[in-house]
Structure 1
Amino acid sequence: MEHYLSIIFRTIFFYILILVIFRLMGKREIGELSILDLVVFIMIGELAIVAIDNPNKSLIHSSIPMVLLMLIQIVLATLSLKSKKFRDLVDGKPTIIINRGKIDEEAMRKQRYNFDDLLTQLREKDIRSIADVEFAILESSGSLSVIERMNNSDGKPKDGDITIPLIIDGNIEEENLTRINKTNLWLRQELKKMGYRDVRKISFCSFENGKFFVDIMDEE
């Protein structure tokens, strides 16, 4: 009887501990978990199962690895928040699969993403035909973001664009500049015209449909 009571107590204890740990690590939707989050969550779950199955092992010894994983995850998440390069290394970058209605087969091959995957995820979003898609972006979480074609009043397709980040955390995204056939010099000149002389003070700058959106770091 004592053995069963111990298992019940340990189950409740680690249930509460895991809830506290996940709460401290921050709120993330299941579909938005990064590889880093997923690895930590799986390891914490496995450690909890082992701890519950071994009632002779002290709660403190069983809890230390779980708390250590939590601290590691928080430190790495902080690094990811402050460093775009580290964030890209851990989480990866979003990939445009369909660009202005044209499928990018090379991007699909790089991501080991096939047409069955594409069609499945389009159906899940109630998209009947690829012809209805203007942009499809494979996010770093593995989910597919879809922007449908817009039509003018005459029923003809309307030109549209997606938000293209040109500056993130004070760093110019050279790859995105190349995508829109612009240069670093062009970007700096355009920003100077708008009164932004120091790129390092810009937390986010995007370019969409010929218009800029600029957000200054820690500006209230």
Structure 2
Amino acid sequence: MYISIIMKTFVLYFYIVLVYRLMGKKEVGKLSIIDLIVSILIAELAAMSIESTDRSIFVSIVPILVLVIIQITLSYISLKSDKFRKFIDGSPTTIIKSGKIKFNEMAKLRYGLDDLITQLREQGIKSIEEVDYAILENNGKLSVFRKTKDYPMPIIVDGKIDFEVLKEIGKDVKWVLNILDEKKLNLTNVYYAFYSKKKTYIIKKDEVI
């Protein structure tokens, strides 16, 4: 019996390592909902296989493979479809804008003032007055932009203009299109563009490997 358990553990260990290599490299704190669900299910299936000495190891290997295929497929769809990605993972939420706390957005997320203060303190910020913008990311991490620092503002992400950012920097769509015309580009060619220190920086899709 013990030999069977040891053999199953050995095989499943290397199998799961291979599975996670196929799923791609991601930090634990940056796992999407899909990745988290798949990880939990894989762990449960592996544990059940090791505990059940009378069951074949293939009873767990096959469902794990199916989960990996589902995860890779959904990740690919998320990469191609902005709407699907937002449906699965949600969208980042601005909770401090121009130095003002957006309590209505915090309430929607069930995110308290204590949570905000704690995450600011973790980043060495003692007072909310030091913050210009704070964005709560999909993974729960807080991205903070201080008032005293010039930071890049993303104006185009994956060929789509961020109208909220344009309002914040006092620009409009015509301004963006003029910049693209000067560089002989259109929106579909742009992977990422940001505005920083009164300059615009553009990364084209064919530059992304």
TM-score by length of 1: 0.84
Q: 4+ residue stretches of structure 1 with deviation over 6 A?
A: none
- 1:115 counterpart residue number: 113
Computed over aligned residues only, the root mean square deviation of the Cα atoms, in angstroms, reads 2.1
Q: What is the CA distance between 1:42 and its match in structure 2?
A: 0.6
The farther-off stretch of 53-62 and 172-181 is 172-181
CA drift of 1:180 comes to: 4.3
Q: 1:173 to 1:88 in 2, by over 3 A?
A: same
Quote the residue 1:156 is aligned against.
none
CA distance, structure 2, for counterparts of residue 90 and residue 209 of structure 1 = 34
- In terms of mean alpha carbon deviation, does 24-33 or 174-183 score higher? 174-183
Structure 1 residue ranges without an equivalent (≥5): 151-159
3-state SS in 2 of match to 1:48: helix
Shift of 1:76: 1.4
Shift of 1:28: 0.9
Helix, strand or coil at the partner of 1:218 = helix
Q: CA deviation at 1:103?
A: 1.4
Contact kept? 2:49, 2:59, Cα under 8 Å? no
Q: Which among 74, 77, 85 is matched to residue 76 of structure 1?
A: 74
Q: Please say which of residues 170-179 and 202-211 is displaced more in the overlay.
A: 170-179
The CA distance in 1 between the partners of 2:146 and 2:168, in whole Å, is: 21
Aligned to 1:166: 155
User: CA shift at 1:88, angstroms?
Assistant: 2.0
Distance 1:102 1:209 in 2: 23
Q: Please tell me whether the aligned partners of residues 137 and 143 of structure 2 are also in contact (alpha carbons under 8 angstroms).
A: yes
Q: Which runs of 5+ in 2 are unaligned?
A: none
Deviation at 1:27, TM superposition (A): 1.1
Q: State the percentage of identical aligned residues.
A: 43
Structure-1 separation of matches of 2:134 and 2:26 = 23
TM-score by length of 2: 0.88
Given candidates 193, 205, 208, the residue that maps to 1:217 is 205
Q: C-alpha offsets along residues 174-196 of structure 1, whole Å, 9 cap, x if unaligned?
A: 4444554544333213322x223
Structure 2 residue corresponding to 1:104, chosen from 90, 102, 105: 102
